[in-house]
């Protein structure tokens, strides 16, 4: 199975080198592509001097579009699966083979790396948000996902096709819910994650609220029309 | 409809039309996008010249005052226009990001 790790990166000069180096060292069989989403820092220069495989968007287009670029890349190069991999070092590459195995053995279209199954319990507001999204997905699709906000997800060929050609498919829980409703099979594997290894997160209070609002509206209302 | 409101309608129509003409002259707005505003200024002018149309419609729909009907109708027209604008902006965002993606992938292939 040919697996591609898609690594969207926006202003990730602090982490991108460590993330890619670690990925290549841990999973030499997994190909990767960094999607530099119009970063204004040295992300692109680092990729260039280190000889990383990267695609550079001419302007900042946002995570959805960056990820779509990765899916189009996977489609053009005929990959069997894509794993969504954060540039900030949160995701641990040693779980990629587990995810690929689960995908093959269980015939899943989407495999999510779950912190909950690994025994990690998110705390505070994040936990509340995550539980709420879990509940909404369970209520609307009947499928229980322990860690819907996990950003480490693997998609098979049919999902690559859907993301590469679809309209406004964000690599987020609401899209997962919609895909389940359209017949996609989702499974989870236990995985630990780390804290971000440098730089700053874009998830401040207002953007977290916007994220929750968008996700809840999308799961509760709009997925019925898509 | 008071004479003041009628005059305001004429002024509004004139400003809308002249504003549009100016932007077209400066090549800032496409003709096809100006049609809505030209029609709107025409409508305002029509209401000012023949207020009977507005008062007839107001009476028919049960508005207490013709001016209320005129305001309400204008708000409704502008809301529809705004909805249409949001849709067009969404489509433009989509097209711009699609172009950026294709361009980025092509550049990668050429490298």
**pTM of the predicted model, to two decimals?**
0.88
Question: Tokens 């409809």, residue?
Answer: B1
CB distance from A69 to chain B under 8 Å?
yes
ipTM of the complex: 0.85
Interface contact A72, partner B, CB < 8 A: yes
Q: Is pLDDT above 70 for B29?
A: yes
Model confidence at B46: pLDDT above 70: yes
Chain-chain contact of A57 with B104 (C-beta, under 8 angstroms): yes
Question: Scanning every residue of chain B, which has its alpha carbon at the shortest distance from the alpha carbon of A57?
Answer: B104
CA–CA distance, B72 with B14 (Å, rounded to integer): 21
Number of domains, chain B? 1
Does the beta-carbon distance from A72 to B97 stay under 8 Å? no
- Contacting residues for A146 by C-beta, under 8 A, at least 6 apart: A114, A116, A117, A134, A188
Q: What CA–CA distance (Å, rounded) separates B84 from B65?
A: 29
- pLDDT at residue A126 above 90? no
Indicate the residue of A56, A69, A167 with minimum beta-carbon distance to B94: A167
Asked whether residue A36 carries a pLDDT value surpassing 70, the answer given is yes
Cα A173-A179-A184 angle, rounded to 5 deg: 120
Residues B14-47 as b or e (16 or more Cβ within 10 Å = b): eebbeebeeeeeeeebeeeebeebbebbebbbeb
Q: A56-108 pLDDT, tens per residue?
A: 999 999 999 999 999 999 999 999 999 999 999 999 999 999 999 999 999 99
Distance from the Cα of residue B48 to its chain's centroid: 18
The CATH number given to whatever domain includes residue A31 is 3.90.550.10
pLDDT of residue B109 exceeding 70:
yes
| Secondary structure (3-state) at A6 | strand
How far, in Å, CA of A188 to CA of A99, rounded? Answer: 8
What is the spatial distance between Cα A208 and Cα A132, in angstroms, rounded to a whole number? 14
The total number of structural domains that make up chain A: 1
Strand order in the sheet with A81-84: A54-57, A31-37, A3-9, A81-84, A153-156, A110-114, A186-190
DSSP structure class, residue B11: H
How many Cα neighbours within 13 Å face the side chain of A36? 28
Please indicate if any CB of chain B lies within 8 Å of the CB of A60.
Answer: no
CB B10 within 8 A of CB B44: yes
Could you list the residue range(s) of the whole structural domain that residue B96 is in?
3-110
Chain pair A-B, CB pairs under 8 angstroms: 38
Range of the domain at A192: 3-224
Find residues 25-54 of chain A whose CB sits inside 8 Å of chain B: 35, 54
State how far the Cα of A65 lies from the Cα of A34, in Å rounded to an integer.
13
How far is it, in rounded angstroms, from Cα A83 to Cα B103? 23
DSSP class of residue A91?
B
| Confidence tier at A222 by pLDDT (50, 70, 90) | confident
Residues of B in contact with A74 (CB under 8 A): none
β-bridge pairing A153-156 and A110-114: antiparallel
- Report H helices in A113-204: 124-141, 157-165, 173-181
CB contact under 8 A, B101 and A57: yes
Q: Residue B36: which pLDDT band, with cuts at 50, 70 and 90?
A: very high
Contact A58 B105 (CB under 8 A): no
Asked if B108 has any chain A CB less than 8 Å from its own CB, the reply is yes
CA atoms within 13 A on the CB side of A183: 2
Cα separation, B26 vs B30, in Å, equals: 10
What tens digit of pLDDT does each residue of B48-81 get?
Answer: 999 999 999 999 999 999 999 999 999 999 999 9
DSSP A57: E
Interatomic CA distance for residues B17 and A180, integer angstroms? 52
Quick one: closest CA in B to A54, which residue? B108
What is the distance in angstroms between the Cα of B108 and the nearest Cα belonging to chain A? 6
Least confident of A172-186, A206-220, B38-52: A206-220
């Amino acid at each position: 199975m040919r697996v591609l790790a898609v690594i969207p990166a926006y202003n990730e000069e602090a982490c991108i080198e460590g993330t890619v180096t670690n990925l290549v060292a841990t999973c030499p069989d997994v190909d990767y592509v960094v999607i530099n989403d119009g970063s204004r820092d040295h992300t692109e220069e680092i990729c260039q001097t280190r000889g990383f495989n990267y695609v550079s968007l001419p302007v900042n287009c946002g995570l959805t579009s960056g990820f779509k670029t990765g899916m189009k890349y996977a489609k053009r190069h005929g990959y069997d699966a894509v794993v969504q991999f954060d540039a900030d070092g949160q995701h641990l590459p040693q779980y990629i083979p587990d995810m690929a195995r689960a995908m093959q053995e269980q015939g899943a279209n989407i495999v999510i790396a779950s912190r909950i199954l690994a025994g990690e319990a998110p705390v505070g507001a994040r936990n509340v948000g995550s539980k709420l999204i879990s509940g909404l997905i369970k209520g609307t699709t009947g499928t229980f996902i322990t860690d819907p906000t996990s950003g480490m997800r693997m998609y098979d060929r049919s999902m690559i096709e859907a993301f590469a050609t679809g309209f406004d498919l964000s690599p987020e829980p609401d899209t997962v819910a919609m895909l389940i409703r359209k017949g996609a099979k989702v499974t989870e594997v236990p995985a630990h994650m780390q804290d971000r290894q440098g730089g700053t997160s874009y998830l401040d209070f207002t953007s977290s609220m916007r994220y929750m609002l968008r996700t809840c509206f999308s799961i509760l209302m709009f997925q019925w029309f898509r | 409809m008071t004479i003041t409101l009628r005059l305001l309608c004429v002024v509004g129509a004139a400003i809308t039309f002249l504003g549009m003409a100016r932007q077209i002259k400066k090549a800032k707005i496409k003709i096809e996008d100006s049609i809505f505003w030209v029609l709107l200024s025409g409508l305002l002018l029509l209401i000012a010249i023949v207020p009977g149309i507005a008062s007839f419609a107001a009476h028919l729909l049960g508005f207490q005052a013709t001016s209320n009907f005129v305001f309400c109708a204008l708000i409704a027209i502008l809301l529809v226009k705004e909805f249409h604008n949001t849709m067009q902006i969404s489509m433009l965002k989509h097209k711009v990001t699609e172009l950026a993606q294709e361009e980025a992938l092509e550049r990668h292939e050429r490298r």
